[in-house]
Amino acid sequence: MTAIDDILLYAAIGFAAQIVDGAIGMAYGLTATTVLMSSGVTAATASASVHAAEIFTTAASGAAHWRVGNIDRGLVKRLALPGMVGGAIGAYILATVSSAYIRPVVSVYLVIMGFVILRRALWNTQRPSISSKHIGILGLIGGFLDSIGGGGWGPMVTTTLIVRGINPRFAIGSANAAEFFVTTTVTATFVATIGVALWPVITGLVIGGALAAPFAAYATKHLPEKPVMIAVATVVIALSLRNLSLALMSN
């Protein structure tokens, strides 16, 4: 394939991934990283390339969510700084150490969270609130796992926020906005350690993701809460079970 073919292919992948990520708050990084790794790219290179693209796509997504009123600024602030710290630590570790032992544990946690969301969406059980302190810890863990796994901020952060009682619309929009700061920090760490390559892939992901961002934000604003929660739960469970099976088979 030529560089132009690569750009067009990954633009299509980026568009599809961003539609899902912007609308339900997750799966852009996981989708793009899975595609790259399936084509033989190492975990660190795949994560570095996807995060470089996500600087632009998360900026577009965050701006789109802000324009349609899906952002809680206080929530963004409490997530962003700890997320940046966690992301930098995770990127440094991924550049030097295998993440094979971390992924199964994260996948199990996310499967559980997916079923919790699904139960609460279907049976309307009461959702406990989440404190500012716990939001900071969530951001720290989410940033770390996102950089280690090449994606995962959305499944970890958005899922937990919804489980703990944040309206899905604001959980999705605010997590998307905070992710821009996390992604920028993760990319800078990768540049300082292993560098960033695969520019046709990055360019394609950026183009597709930027084009999709406004449509995804509009969908988040206007979709009712229950279907969004069911969609979030379904995506989390499906991706986490797949990642868990792949991790177990590789060990």
Task: Give tens-digit pLDDT for 103-113.
Answer: 677 678 778 87
Q: Which residues contact 39 (CB under 8 A, 6 or more apart)?
A: none
pLDDT, greater one: 49 or 82? 82
**Looking at per-residue confidence, does 20 or 64 come out higher?**
64
For residue 167, which phi and psi values (nearest 5 degrees)? -55, 130
Q: What percent of the chain has pLDDT over 70?
A: 89
Report which secondary-structure segment, H or E, holds 134. helix 132-149
Q: Model confidence over 102-141: pLDDT tens digits?
A: 667 767 877 887 787 788 778 765 555 667 778 999 999 9
Most distant CA atoms of the chain, gap in Å: 53
DSSP 8-class letter at 156: I
CB 227, CB 101: distance < 8 Å? no
Query: DSSP assignment, residue 25?
Result: S
Task: Give the model confidence (pLDDT) of 31-41 as tens digits.
Answer: 777 777 667 67
Torsion of CA 223, 79, 27, 60, to 10 degrees: 70
CA pair distance 103, 241, nearest whole angstrom: 11
